[in-house]
Copies of this chain bind each other. A is one copy, B any other.
Amino acid sequence: MKAPSSVAELPVASWARGLGPSAIQDMLQKITRPGVYSLALGLPAAELFPTEGMAEAAARVLAEQGQALQYSATLEPLREQVVALMAKRGVRCSPAQVFLTTGAQQGMNLLARLLLEPGRSVLLEDRVYSGFQQVLAPYDVRRVPVRRDARTGLDLDGMEALLAAGERPALFYTMSDGHNPLGTSLAREARERLAGLAREYRMPVIEDDAYGFLHYEEGGALAPVKAWEPEWVFYVGSFSKILAPALRVGWVVVPEWMVFRLATVKEASDIDTTTFPQRMVLAFLQSGRLEGHLETLRREYRLRRDTLLKALETQLPAGATWTTPTSGMFVWVELPEGMDSTVLLSRALETQQVAYLPGQAFAVSGGRSASHGLRLNFSACAPERITEAVRRLGEVLRAG
């Protein structure tokens, strides 16, 4: 092999060669410029963070726990708290099935490292969280899109046909509730049927439930698919959206025998989870404040969702459609035929200082185009700012 002549020609792994500047860092810079009305990112509302409760938690942990800053084995009481939380979500599990992670993203990453091998295939919804596509980037795997449509839902007929024809995916990745980017949730029958397919075809399912606790309808949300199929569905949860992202505390619920394998994979990646923030989360949960905090979030985000939906009614051009989320942080808009949301984004930023994420960010390469779609977030901005953002967005879109 020829040696590189300078370090800038260093041979990096082939999958990494085409990587440009970090998409998130770049996007953050553009849309966090002062004055931009941003409906782009999936940020929780910073003004609703339980800052006081967290400050008390941090102070208590440091005052009372001599080992709070030391390397630590898994915090068993936090696993027990997660079990209680899962029960509220309709999932029965034991502490031994709970594995704590650095946010949901790490949970998915560790599962991918454990399950993927070169040459395998992965089933992906054709509108999919871009962060999961990033998880797949280093792996030489075939991506097989399954239709997930804003109106018609998840194409389980298509999935069954693939499986019946012999496709044996290493995993299928999905969000049952508050889907990112669609904002939709799976119907009960779809959950049951997906659980059945996972069982029948021995297909591992990664169920990303980052938004499942943020539900806005009377009667709450349906239980995740995990509740219908405890063995083949690997559940990924997170405190990022319901407490605070900067603590990066998440968890997975998997069969007990997988936990030690995940622990070994995780040690190689960052030794152990950042246990100080875990201790803060634990102290906060033990203070009994989570349920009240969740009620605040649901009330406030419901108001913001309704504000967004109402503004869309008056501002969007004829022919545009959008979803009505019952959970999560996003509304998905589909523009009339021929409109391209990526092209329009530059114009939106330049002429109206308003930002969203274009649909193509969530498309699977080789799959159906999403260029006429766009994702709007309703959690990050106060209602009056949402109204103004959509007014500006309407100006851009109606001008086409």
Contacts and interface: CB of A to CB of B under 8 A. Distances in A.
Nearest to A5: B202
Nearest to A204: B10
A117 B261 contact: no
Contact of A25 (B29, B73, B276): B73
Contact of A43 (B47, B70, B131, B260): B70
A137 interface: yes
Interface stretch (A107-115, A366-374, A392-400): A107-115
Contact of A19 (B21, B115, B264): B264
A44 to B, nearest CB: 7
A343 interface: no
Contacts of A49: 69-70
Contact of A105 (B43, B115, B231, B269): B269
Given A8-B255, A116-B13, A59 B68 contact: no
Contact of A231 (B7, B54, B271): B7
A263 interface: yes
B113 A13 contact: yes
A68 B16 contact: no
Contact of A69 (B135, B246, B261, B273): B246
A270 interface: yes
A161 interface: no
A29 B263 CA distance: 14
Interface string A178-206: 00000000000000000000000110100
A7 B5 CA distance: 49
Nearest to A276: B246
Interface of A: 1, 3-8, 10-14, 16, 19-25, 28-29, 32, 41, 43-44, 46-47, 49, 51, 54-55, 58-59, 62-63, 66-74, 102-103, 105-106, 109, 113-117, 131, 134-135, 137-138, 168, 170, 201-202, 204, 231-232, 240, 243-248, 255, 257, 260-261, 263-265, 267-277, 279
Given A19-B261, A51-B62, 6 more contacts: A16-B264, A25-B260, A51-B69, A71-B246, A248-B271, A269-B269
